[in-house]
């Protein structure tokens, strides 16, 4: 019973007392001292995440790249691809390399190697949930900053962009793989489906960074990305069922379509109807955090309902933000959500980077090469297939249609789910799976700077006279704009 | 392989994609669909926590009781004592009643009962860590709102209050149990030790609520509570070693004392020296959240170091807040921490309430009665032993000495750790353990309203002329003040 004097007893003292007390009181199992160690692991992970995110963001900001790209790259540096500081045990089922962080934790506390593994599983899980809360809060913030009537106004355009952005890369990718690479239909369809996704998180973050979220282009992109998220869920259902049974389960598809429409329309209509009562209720609350907590309850309820009806939590959070943006509390709530988003959102982006294994990009490894060739094709289709979506918008000469197409490029995490599901079903060969991953990485990391260039390009054109008159205040930005213009003239 | 069309696949899609993909790609183990369910469980738990906290706070605020008491009571209502909405599996090692929440989760998603248990363990762990982050952020905020030079000035008084507040209840409790209740020395010493703790979280939260944190009394209480936390760690080490081996391990005690002093003094001195560089660094960062993230990194590093040297994370966070309060960023940082604290802190208090099993308070259960009689004695010692600490301050006639003593009353979670460790060591009988738990519950729940009364009493005295002249604007508060004055005259 040496453990009573062991420091681990003290670590747990004020933090998880009853859990701890109960465990000590009950069967003294191996889990006794894990809780405080999990907290220590979470603290260390957050230190690493914030450090990686801030260093990455600052470097990118100085290179005139979007800060969010810095968070992603910072994640890559500390994650599975390089420093192994931030590891997710689930991602390394085959190799059992302990993370550097877990080793540090072992060295600075009195953990045994055996406990270390289960402690690492514990704090990785917590960090994963924090990352998920991060993207939920990001989408809530994006919803708050969006304009529902503007979204409804641009709805038809957004719908066209979303549908073309799903159909074009799917058809081009699938047919290309079948006819150019002589693949079988099922794997080609899977890869084509992986090309359809759009990562709303990355695009929305960049748009917010360059203050284009509330522009007409920004709202079309957000609207299309939200619809694309719903379409992505449906496409995945279709493809997965096709890969498994060779046929399409119509019931499921119909269910998904109906529940998406009912959820999105229903919560907005009901939300608009109920929001005066919400405001009145908040005004009657007189304890600290009245608006914030009431809003979080609302956002988390919609996120949970979205999850329960097999949509995604982020769709619920976005809808909640949209509804609350209609109330007269919008300004106050936005100010309060800002620091919370600053705290949570980097966790999401760093984790996305940390979980991405960029070693498949290395052409020096012979087995990567076949995948890289297929990847080159997929990347071209992925970019062109989304960029052309902007061209579908007619009768709006002032609109930056290139920016809309570019905004749809990043596949982000959604594309990786296709790769995972496809690979598990046995439909994808190893090179094709690697190619999909490479395509996702490239489109995700390349879109933020592209998006910035096409927007600052438009601004530069618009401000051309003004800039000449006043002299450019930011030579770097001016250079980037020029490069962007050159790029556009070439294309 | 039906699971590919199962909705769980879609739930996970954008949130834990690579984790998910990797798991699907690797051995398709049972854990495949747990991650999205854990997120759903966390969302549901947060909804319950925020709802319980806000309803409790609003009710207490309307009854002129401290809001934090409402969070604690809200936690009791949703927790193990009543609704079983928020359950921590570790606390119910013997009974296997599933929480209502876990049942709801099962009903609204496609979970099997087997998965449900491990999912519940997963999200409870996440909520526990969020609660711990909550108290870390609370103490960081308290540190930020504290005044280091004032704390140093009141240091000697705080030290006396802390030491008397440890020695008096320990001696009175131990001797009372030995001579009045004829207990053996070891269990009596354990119960006496449990009387020494002070829950800094609850007192600090109430002080902040009534805007007394920066008063001289408030700073003495905070200083004494911090020292008490350190003393509590040392007392636990002494008592646990005594119970186990019958002797005191001097090495460990000396180590704890030295490391506490070095940590507290060292980080403050070093922090003061480094804080100009911190400010300069923050000013040079130009991405969103520069001040907040840099401050969180600093706070989490100190919290981690405190954990690693066997102190507590909250001590590190408090010290970080103290150091940053000295910089010219204090105001800006306080504003940004406010919503984050509003979001995290209720999780801590609701969890403390939810984990507290108030069934030991029921006198209708015969086996509770012996414990309740001992508890009555412990409660008297617990309250008097702390209240007298205020009287040790001499030469300060203007000081509200009663308020200082009352501020030290709540034992909170720290006292429960003593009960747990004592019970596990076999030193405590069942009634004595129950008595300690009852004492902790009572002192914790009774202190917030008491504290408010003794402070508003002093204010009423101070403002007597003004109140008479202007007419009391708040009749309820005036009544409470009168009651408080009556109470004081009686005592």
User: Using the beta-carbon criterion (under 8 Å), do A93 and B23 form an inter-chain contact?
Assistant: yes
d(C-alpha B378, C-alpha B381), whole Å = 5
Amino acid B158: pLDDT: 87
CA B55 to chain CA centroid, Å, is 20
The answer to whether residue B430 is domain-embedded is yes
The answer to whether residue B474 is domain-embedded is no
- Cα dist from B396 to B124, B154, B157, B216, B439, whole Å: 48, 11, 10, 11, 31
Q: What tokens does A478 get?
A: 């001016």
Burial A396-424 (b: 16+ CB within 10 A, else e): eeebbbbbbbbbbbbbbbbbbbbbbbbbb
The answer to whether residue B110 is domain-embedded is no
d(C-alpha A163, C-alpha A441), whole Å = 23
Q: Return the higher-pLDDT residue of A49 and B253.
A: A49
Measured over the CA atoms of residue B409, residue B412, residue B415 and residue B419, the dihedral's sign is positive
- Cα dist from B482 to B407, B477, B486, whole Å: 20, 9, 6
Lowest mean pLDDT among A133-147, A197-211, B101-115: B101-115
> Using one digit for the tens of pLDDT, what is the confidence trace for A9-22?
333 333 333 333 33
Q: What tokens does A167 get?
A: 């159909």
Measured between CA atoms, how close is B164 to chain A, in angstroms? 21
pLDDT classification of B446: cutoffs 50, 70, 90: confident
Restricting to A residues 441-480, those with a Cβ less than 8 Å away from any Cβ of B are: none
The mean pLDDT of chain B is 78
Find which of A236-250, B15-29, B299-313 is predicted with most confidence, using mean pLDDT.
Answer: B299-313
* Cα nearest neighbour of A8 on chain B: B310
Asked if A193 is an interface residue toward chain B (Cβ–Cβ < 8 A), one would say no
The answer to whether residue B250 is domain-embedded is yes
Asked if B201 is an interface residue toward chain A (Cβ–Cβ < 8 A), one would say yes
Contact between A333 and A292 under an 8 Å Cβ cutoff? The reply is yes
Distance in Å from the first CA to the final CA of chain B = 73
Of A29, A167, A45, A28, whose CA–CA distance to A102 is shortest?
A: A45
User: Using the beta-carbon criterion (under 8 Å), do B293 and A20 form an inter-chain contact?
Assistant: no
Per the document, the length of chain A is: 491
Of A248, A241, A226, whose CA–CA distance to A414 is shortest?
A: A226
Contact between A421 and A45 under an 8 Å Cβ cutoff? The reply is no
CA B333 to chain CA centroid, Å, is 23
pLDDT classification of A292: cutoffs 50, 70, 90: very high
Measured between CA atoms, how close is B483 to chain A, in angstroms? 24
CB hemisphere CA count around A57 (13 angstroms):
27
Restricting to B residues 329-368, those with a Cβ less than 8 Å away from any Cβ of A are: 336-340, 342-343, 346, 355-356
Domain at A348, CATH number: 1.20.1530.20
The answer to whether residue A67 is domain-embedded is no
Range of the domain at A442: 142-462+474-490
Of A35, A213, A50, whose CA–CA distance to A131 is shortest?
A: A50
- What 3-state DSSP class applies to A182? coil
Q: What string of DSSP letters covers B165-195? A: HHHHHHHHHHHHHHHTS---HHHHHHHHHHT
Instruction: Collect all residues of chain B within an 8 Å Cβ-Cβ radius of residue A122.
Output: 125
Measured between CA atoms, how close is A45 to chain B, in angstroms? 10
Please report which helix (H) or strand (E) contains residue B132, including its range: helix B113-145
User: Using the beta-carbon criterion (under 8 Å), do A132 and B15 form an inter-chain contact?
Assistant: yes
> Using one digit for the tens of pLDDT, what is the confidence trace for A106-137?
777 766 666 777 788 888 899 999 998 998 99
* Cα nearest neighbour of A290 on chain B: B54
Measured between CA atoms, how close is B147 to chain A, in angstroms? 22
Of A138, A134, A129, A135, whose CA–CA distance to A42 is shortest?
A: A129
User: Using the beta-carbon criterion (under 8 Å), do A17 and B413 form an inter-chain contact?
Assistant: yes
Phi/psi for B96 (5° steps) reads -115, 25
Instruction: Collect all residues of chain A within an 8 Å Cβ-Cβ radius of residue B417.
Output: 12-14, 17, 20-21
Of A3, A264, A273, whose CA–CA distance to A112 is shortest?
A: A3
Contacts of A310 (CB under 8 A, 6+ apart): A233, A255, A256, A259, B7, B10, B11
Phi/psi for A328 (5° steps) reads -80, 5
> Using one digit for the tens of pLDDT, what is the confidence trace for B29-77?
333 457 778 899 999 999 999 999 999 999 988 887 778 888 888 988 9
pLDDT surpassing 90 at residue A259: no
> Using one digit for the tens of pLDDT, what is the confidence trace for A296-349?
999 999 999 988 887 778 888 988 998 999 898 999 999 999 999 999 999 988
Instruction: Collect all residues of chain A within an 8 Å Cβ-Cβ radius of residue B90.
Output: 19, 22-23, 31, 35
Contact between B173 and B378 under an 8 Å Cβ cutoff? The reply is yes
State the Cα angle at B343 between B340 and B349, rounded to 5°. 120
Contact between B360 and B437 under an 8 Å Cβ cutoff? The reply is yes
The answer to whether residue A415 is domain-embedded is yes
The answer to whether residue A468 is domain-embedded is no
The answer to whether residue A5 is domain-embedded is no
CA A448 to chain CA centroid, Å, is 13
Contacts of A398 (CB under 8 A, 6+ apart): none
d(C-alpha A41, C-alpha A244), whole Å = 40
Q: What tokens does B462 get?
A: 């101070």
User: Using the beta-carbon criterion (under 8 Å), do A23 and B67 form an inter-chain contact?
Assistant: no
Restricting to B residues 107-136, those with a Cβ less than 8 Å away from any Cβ of A are: 108-109, 122-123, 125-126, 128-129, 131-133, 135
* Cα nearest neighbour of B14 on chain A: A414
* Percentage above 70 pLDDT, chain B: 80
* Cα nearest neighbour of A105 on chain B: B308
Number of structural domains found in chain A = 1
Q: What is the pTM of this model?
A: 0.81
User: Using the beta-carbon criterion (under 8 Å), do B17 and A414 form an inter-chain contact?
Assistant: yes
pLDDT surpassing 90 at residue B139: no
Contact between A14 and B312 under an 8 Å Cβ cutoff? The reply is yes
Per the document, the length of chain B is: 491
- What 3-state DSSP class applies to B200? helix
d(C-alpha B374, C-alpha B439), whole Å = 9
> Using one digit for the tens of pLDDT, what is the confidence trace for B102-119?
777 777 776 666 677 778
């Amino acid at each position: 019973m040496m453990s009573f004097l062991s420091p681990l007893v003290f670590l747990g003292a004020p933090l998880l007392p009853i859990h701890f007390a109960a465990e000590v009181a009950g069967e003294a199992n191996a889990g006794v001292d894990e809780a405080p160690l999990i907290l220590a692991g979470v603290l260390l992970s957050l230190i690493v995440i914030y450090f990686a995110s801030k260093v990455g963001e600052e470097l990118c900001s100085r290179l005139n790249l979007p800060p969010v790209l810095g968070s992603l790259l910072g994640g890559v540096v500390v994650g599975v691809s390089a420093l192994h500081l931030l590891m997710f045990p689930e991602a390394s089922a085959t190799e059992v390399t302990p993370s550097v962080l877990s080793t540090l934790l072992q060295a600075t506390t009195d953990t045994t190697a055996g406990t270390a593994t289960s402690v690492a599983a514990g704090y990785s899980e917590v960090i994963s949930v924090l990352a998920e809360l991060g993207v939920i809060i990001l989408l809530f913030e994006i919803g708050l900053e969006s304009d529902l009537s503007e979204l409804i106004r641009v709805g038809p355009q957004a719908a066209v962009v979303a549908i073309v952005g799903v159909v074009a890369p799917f058809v081009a990718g699938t047919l290309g793989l079948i006819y150019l690479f002589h693949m079988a239909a099922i794997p080609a369809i899977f890869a084509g489906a992986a090309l359809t996704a759009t990562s709303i998180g990355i695009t929305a973050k960049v748009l917010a960074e360059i203050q284009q979220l509330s522009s007409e282009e920004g709202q079309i992109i957000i609207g299309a990305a939200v619809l694309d998220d719903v379409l992505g869920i449906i496409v995945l259902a279709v493809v997965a069922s096709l890969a498994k049974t060779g046929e399409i389960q119509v019931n499921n598809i119909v269910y998904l379509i109906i529940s998406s429409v009912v959820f999105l329309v229903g919560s907005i209509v009901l939300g608009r109807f109920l929001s005066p009562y919400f405001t009145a209720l908040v005004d009657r609350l007189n304890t600290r955090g009245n608006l914030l907590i009431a809003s979080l309850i609302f956002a988390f309820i919609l996120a949970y309902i979205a999850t329960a009806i097999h949509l995604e939590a982020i769709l619920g959070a976005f809808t909640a933000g949209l509804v609350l943006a209609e109330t007269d509390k919008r300004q106050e709530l936005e100010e309060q959500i800002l620091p919370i988003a600053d705290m949570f959102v980097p966790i999401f982006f760093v984790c996305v980077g940390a979980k991405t294994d960029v070693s498949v990009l290395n052409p020096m490894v012979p087995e990567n090469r076949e995948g890289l060739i297929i990847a080159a094709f997929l990347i071209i289709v992925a970019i062109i297939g989304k960029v052309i979506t902007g061209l579908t918008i007619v009768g709006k000469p002032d609109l930056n249609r290139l920016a809309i197409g570019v905004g749809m490029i990043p596949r982000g995490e959604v594309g990786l789910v296709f790769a995972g599901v496809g690979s598990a079903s046995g439909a994808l060969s190893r090179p094709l799976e690697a190619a999909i991953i490479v395509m996702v990485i490239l489109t995700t990391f390349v879109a933020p700077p592209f998006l910035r260039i096409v927007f600052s390009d438009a601004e530069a054109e618009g401000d051309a006279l003004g800039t000449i008159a006043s002299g450019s205040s930011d030579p770097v930005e001016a250079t980037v704009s020029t490069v962007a213009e050159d790029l556009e003239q070439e294309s």
